Structure 1
């Protein structure tokens, strides 16, 4: 199994007033830099999924891959972009993380890989109030499913869980929902400063 990573930064950040959330600073360090530092040791190579002018990320030294479908189709489009890049890298799987989530587990990839079986995607999840809540931007994605995902997106499918369930999707439950805290609003950024 050759596993590479994709950082999903292709959204529009509407609740933050637009722009790139990953370039916002947390404790004087851009969110994206914190995410790169956490994910890079866990995978063999890394790319960034972002739309628009890739030059704004030049300082990170990462390949930037845009959504292969039009119209901001959500995280599945970013996963597909990562899968297509992974194919060119000769990888079998992609681990995805969100660019606005600086505290995700340092053993995320290891635990997702341990939970894998066959060609099923694996999503991270947390247990809250007695139920399991999936984290749809954090997953392990078999590259072999890229064509199927592209077809599903072409049919208009946008919900991560709907697509993973088609492929016997699995879950790995992590201990704390704080690990998957994401920065969507200015208030979230202030809360993340306190968590830091």
Structure 2
């Protein structure tokens, strides 16, 4: 897999309503911020790693990754993080991962990339345990205009956009727990 063709983006730009509005990526799991767990697992799989953050930039800056903000106002959802990354990347592909999934697969990018190549597709998402995990999305840069149109016309649901773009689903049956996410502060107390 040519990792030099792929930019990773950690999605930390949301409002974290279920977590009481705190900056989710900065919350600690085993003494380390969630975003650092994700960076440690996603970073080696990509050429460049970005963090999509709409607040707390001063807290994220010391990590040393380029920070990008949503280009659209009012926190319209995770697709805007992909949109922001596609708008600035110089690589052909972008992979997204949420900041609250610290156990993401170490072979996530390789398997999604392989599926794209085998299916001659532009978008691939992860599935596991019978559930879709579309925020784990590998997307070709040429999907930027389609995503921009979708978002500017009120589209917000990730699976609707994935369906419109014939996303390939890649199953990780042996790694169901790798997609576990932490939505509340109580979740962080019982990893």
Please state how far the C-alpha of 1:137 moved relative to its aligned partner. Answer: 1.0
**Aligned match of 1:190:** 189
| Corresponding residue to 1:42 among 45, 60, 75 | 45
Aligned mates of 1:44, 1:186 — CA distance in 2: 32
Please state how far the C-alpha of 1:47 moved relative to its aligned partner. Answer: 0.4
**Aligned match of 1:178:** 177
| Corresponding residue to 1:124 among 106, 110, 126 | 126
Aligned mates of 1:136, 1:188 — CA distance in 2: 21
**Aligned match of 2:141:** 143
User: Unpaired runs of 5+ in structure 1?
Assistant: none
Deviation per residue, 1:7-52 (Å, 9 max, x gap): 0001111111112111111111111111111011000001000103
Runs (4+) off by over 3 Å? none
What TM-score do you get using the length of structure 2 for normalisation? 0.93
Aligned mates of 2:103, 2:91 — CA distance in 1: 26
**Aligned match of 1:70:** 73
Are the aligned partners of 1:119 and 1:144 in contact in 2 as well (CA < 8 Å)?
A: no
Aligned mates of 1:134, 1:82 — CA distance in 2: 22
Aligned mates of 1:13, 1:80 — CA distance in 2: 19
* 3-state secondary structure, aligned to 1:164: helix
Deviation per residue, 1:38-67 (Å, 9 max, x gap): 011000001000103522211111111111
**Aligned match of 1:106:** 106
Would you say how many aligned residue pairs link Structure 1 and Structure 2?
185
What TM-score do you get using the length of structure 1 for normalisation? 0.90
* 3-state secondary structure, aligned to 2:190: helix
